């Protein structure tokens, strides 16, 4: 029979367990305290609201596992939406071609970011903060203060093509996100690439001495993350068929929140994408539940901030216990 101490240590060693328990507790609390939270329509809405943030958080997880952080992920996704929409509207380009260009450009921005981080050995926080400013400004210059409606079947596919799974509406965007999570879970836990990502984040010098090409691994992570941000842009256009330079202003912070609450260490080398998926759902459940409970948005931000600090404190404590 396991003791309370053993159960506590198991939770601390397994990053996804704690967030899963927190998600269940949050759902139970809001189901009891509000009359409208636990119904099919609201639960479907909660899942849909976690779509873009959940995908951004997937890319953010890869970067944070390498002991980095990406403050520009949402800005890159916004620029990809603008680029894709304008190419279809003003150039008459087919949606699939515009979409591929948007994803390639997002990957290119990731390559530039990774190249600066690895080539000049600059802190990812500083590089991505600069990239956030640059990409945001370029997006507003490119859009000239306008938004661009999207009327293309390919670009709207992930949001408009819905079907019923029981009584719950599921978009193809959500299906794609789940497939991506499963794929990256496999890649991180079953392939050499995944082990390199964890090793680089845990101790880059030890990784180098063991034969891992640290710079190439880091650069690859930023490029892959850029591709994921481009796919998030596609999901965003499917959910809201309008490219707006002012969209997702808090997307980077929400994605970091989902990653940290999901149990991935901000110090790198530990965490899981499954935990991130749970973290994204926690953020969506928290905002939905507090909104239905009549809590002001400002207090919701306070609650989210408290959760982030608590998650980092638990991570710090668990690392101390393992030494």
**Interacting residues of 153 by C-beta distance below 8 A, sequence separation 6+:** 95, 160
pLDDT the model gives residue 116: 97
Whether 307 shows a pLDDT value over 90: the answer reads no
Q: Which of 95-99, 233-237, 259-263 has the lowest mean pLDDT?
A: 259-263
Give the CA count within 13 Å in the CB-facing half-sphere of 260: 24
- pLDDT tens for each residue of 84-110: 999 999 888 999 999 999 999 999 999
Contact 201, 66 (CB under 8 A): yes
Whether 43 shows a pLDDT value over 70: the answer reads yes
CATH number for 39-315 (one of 3.30.160, 1.10.3470, 1.20.950, 3.30.70): it is 1.10.3470
pLDDT the model gives residue 321: 59
Q: Which of 3-7, 15-19, 77-81, 287-291 has the lowest mean pLDDT?
A: 3-7
Mean pLDDT of 263-280: 90
- pLDDT tens for each residue of 113-154: 999 999 999 999 999 999 999 999 999 999 998 999 988 889
Per-chain mean pLDDT for the chain:
88
Q: Tell me the pairing of strands 168-171 and 162-165.
A: antiparallel
Angle at 41 between CA 40 and CA 43, to 5 degrees: 65
pLDDT the model gives residue 319: 61
* DSSP labels, 212-233: --HHHHHHHHHHHHHHHHHHHH
Mean pLDDT of 248-263: 86
Alpha-carbon span 82 to 94, nearest angstrom: 15
pLDDT the model gives residue 16: 67
Percent of all residues in the chain with a pLDDT value above 90, rounded to a whole number: 54
Confidence of residue 304 (pLDDT cuts 50, 70, 90): confident
Whether 266 shows a pLDDT value over 90: the answer reads no
- Closest C-alpha among 79, 89, 96, 74 to residue 143: 79
- Per DSSP, what are the bridge partners of residue 165? 168
Whether 2 shows a pLDDT value over 70: the answer reads no
Whether 169 shows a pLDDT value over 70: the answer reads yes
Q: Considering only residues 41 and 163, tell me which one the structure prediction assigns the higher pLDDT.
A: 41
Q: Which of 60-69, 248-257, 258-267 has the lowest mean pLDDT?
A: 248-257
Give the CA count within 13 Å in the CB-facing half-sphere of 33: 15
pLDDT the model gives residue 128: 96
Confidence of residue 206 (pLDDT cuts 50, 70, 90): very high
Whether 4 shows a pLDDT value over 60: the answer reads no
Give the domain ranges of the chain.
Answer: 39-315
Confidence of residue 34 (pLDDT cuts 50, 70, 90): confident
Mean pLDDT of 22-41: 84
Whether 282 shows a pLDDT value over 80: the answer reads yes
């Amino acid at each position: 029979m396991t003791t309370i101490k053993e159960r506590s240590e198991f939770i601390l060693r397994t990053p996804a367990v704690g967030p899963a328990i927190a998600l269940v507790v949050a759902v139970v609390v809001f189901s009891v305290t509000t009359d409208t939270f636990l119904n099919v329509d609201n639960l479907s809405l909660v899942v849909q609201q976690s779509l873009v943030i959940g995908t951004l958080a997937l890319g953010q997880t890869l970067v944070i596992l390498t002991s980095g952080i990406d403050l520009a992920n949402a800005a890159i996704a916004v620029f990809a939406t603008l680029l894709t929409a304008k190419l279809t509207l003003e150039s008459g380009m087919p949606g699939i071609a515009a979409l591929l260009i948007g994803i390639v450009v997002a990957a290119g921005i990731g390559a530039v970011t990774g190249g600066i981080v690895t080539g000049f050995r600059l802190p990812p926080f500083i590089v991505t903060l600069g990239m956030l400013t640059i990409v945001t400004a370029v997006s507003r210059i490119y859009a000239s203060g306008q938004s661009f409606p999207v009327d293309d079947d390919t670009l709207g596919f992930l949001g408009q093509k819905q079907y019923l799974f029981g009584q719950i509406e599921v978009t193809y965007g959500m299906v794609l996100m789940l497939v991506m999570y499963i794929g990256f879970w496999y890649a991180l836990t079953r392939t050499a690439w995944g082990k390199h990502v964890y090793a680089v984040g845990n101790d880059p010098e030890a990784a180098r001495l063991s034969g891992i090409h640290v710079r190439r691994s880091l650069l690859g992570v930023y490029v892959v993350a850029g591709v994921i941000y481009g796919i998030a842009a596609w999901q965003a256009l499917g959910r809201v068929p309008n490219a707006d330079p002012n969209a997702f202003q808090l997307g980077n912070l929400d994605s970091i929140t989902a990653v940290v609450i999901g149990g991935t260490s901000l110090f790198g080398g530990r965490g899981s994408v499954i935990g991130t998926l749970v973290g994204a759902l926690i953020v969506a459940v928290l905002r939905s539940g507090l909104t239905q409970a009549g809590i002001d948005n400002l207090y919701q931000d306070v609650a989210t901030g408290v959760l982030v600090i608590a998650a980092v404190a638990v991570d710090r404590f668990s690392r101390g216990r393992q030494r």
